[in-house]
Structure 1
Amino acid sequence: MDILQLSIKLVIGFLLLFFLIRVIGKKLIDQITPFHFISAIVLSELLGNAVYDENIPVISIVYTTVIWGGLLFVFEYIAQKSLLFRHFFEGQPTIVIRNGQIDFEQLNKARMNINQLQGLLRQSEIFSIREVAFALVESNGSISVLKKAQYQKTTLEDFNMPPHPVYLPVTLIKDGELIWENLEEINKERDWLKRELTSHGVSRIEDVLLAEWLENDGLMVIPHQHHQLEKVK
């Protein structure tokens, strides 16, 4: 491929991409939904392959981009006009924590496990599930959280209170497996943990989905079967 032909293809591809983004809007760049993310990848592949393949004429680049961009524009337009189509096209938020309780059915529908949920919460500066009243997984995979009243952000200056220590929650059991190093970190033994689990009505470590210790706030246990949040101080 000579330099002139490559230059023409690059310029045309750039102009078409610029025009496409201006027409469709910012969603393609923001990748708000999985569909937009995949659409951006496919579009880049179409342009990339067409530009560097000397057997593909310039008119094919224009035709491919116009057709793909036209389909995106039509779908976006219909989604703006039809609420039903918008829900199908963009998806809806999934409530994975409701009234402080994990909704395991919705968590499974979102194709998430407890590790991924904890990771998303930590990205929102929430290090304990006990702080959450409601949590919604958005269609782009991000999480929106409404904290319980006692955990909502205030400042000590508002109440003229002295500062107090801040503790990091420690996960002791996850998916039925005991995390020994975390148990040693809080200077507790297995017998102590078994007694605490028994007080929650759980006889075996394997029956626990998540057990989390927070200094001054006690142990939180989420059993596999009962799906109940319980806490002992």
Structure 2
Amino acid sequence: MTTESTTNNANQEISAEQLADEIVQQAEEQVEEQHDHAQEVISEEQERINELELALATAQSTVSDQKDSVIRAKAEVDNIRRRAAQDVEKARKFALEKFAGEMLTTVDNLERALQSIDKEDESKKGVIEGIELTLQGLIASLEKFGVKAVDPQDQPFNPEFHQAMSMQEVPDVAPNTVIAVMQKGYELNGRLVRPAMVMVSKAAPSVDTSA
């Protein structure tokens, strides 16, 4: 390999590492923005809770004939607290859902690029290593925030997580088994972001032996 080729490969690797760093930085910035938004939601709900608690304290100081108002105010405070806690949990858990969905397109493109490159060609070695580093960095960043791949090869077909694109008879394979994954699916903290696109085995047609 010539000095010029080595230099180009090094530049490609550096560029790929920079791209991985930029993608990771974008993901972290998006999480920070969503975190700030969640804090704003918390503040608004807390203000409402404070107002209702003040109303509750005032109601409790009144005469006994306002007992029903006190009970209703307390119940409303409890309900708002519960809803606020649920909203914050959802914001934390699924803040990355939209951003993760966009990043999956990049993951798909990098995986297709690796599949299309001739790995036996020494001149492409630097390019392959650069793409692999970028892909690994992106996947690691997604996993850090709860994004996991759904890759059901040879598993039973599950319509909740898989989308059947076609069916095919395959000898010695049980019906409704995933025989090929055309595109991996992904889930975020247990919630499906994108189903896996798969090919599924089907049973052979029954043979009429009555004739």
Q: Do the structures match in fold with TM over 0.5?
A: no
Structure number with greater CO (CA < 8 Å, separation at least 6) is: 2
More helix by share: 2
Look at both structures and tell me which one has the larger radius of gyration over its CA atoms. 2
Give the TM-score range, shorter chain. Answer: under 0.3
